[in-house]
Amino acid sequence: MSLAHFAPGAAMRRAQVATGAAMRRAGQGGREHEDAVRTRTRKTTMTHMKMTIVGLAAAALLCACTSSPGGPQNTYTFREGAPLELIEGNRQLAASLKIKNVQSKHLDDGRLLSQFELVSVDARRLHIDWAVEWFDASGMALPMPGAWQPLEIGGMGMETIQITAPKPEASSWRLAVRPRTSNR
């Protein structure tokens, strides 16, 4: 016997063929039986295909809805006189890192100086990268050289950060924070 003889569903097909052959010998509707078997097999195959497609779609949806620890960044937007606005792209990071005590003042040359604390509420060391982008009163980004800055905060620790606007026109800023991965 070949390996195909033991394949899944092979026993059912052998039984269907044997039943059809016995019915033909007895003079009973062989063709009708074969058509019924083909229809049943086609329906079973379609049902399995539909279940597979639904399963794959569900798996893809679950993967798309989760973010890894090295996933998207969180942003915090500061505007004078308004509460700090958080856009959460990484839930795990947002749960581990808080921004507190945001203060700002204008320097003698008109530039905005801001200070805030990044606080780890996790018992483990937190390795992040952060960057700041500055905006004028109309919301236009101010060109400035910027780079991601690495930062390590001890478990349950805090780091105070001071940032100074590049120009007196700057009236707001956006802080981006992302988890640091080993390849950055």
Chain segment 6-29, per-residue pLDDT in tens = 555 655 566 555 555 555 565 555
User: What pLDDT does 16 receive?
Assistant: 59
User: What pLDDT does 146 receive?
Assistant: 75
Which residues in the chain land under pLDDT 50? 60-70
User: What pLDDT does 62 receive?
Assistant: 47
Compute and round to an integer the Cα radius of gyration of the chain. 32
User: What pLDDT does 40 receive?
Assistant: 73
Q: In what helix (H) or strand (E) does residue 11 lie, and over which residues does it extend?
A: helix 10-25
Token output for 166: 């590049």
User: What pLDDT does 61 receive?
Assistant: 46
Largest CA-CA distance found in the chain, in angstroms, rounded: 107
User: What pLDDT does 63 receive?
Assistant: 45
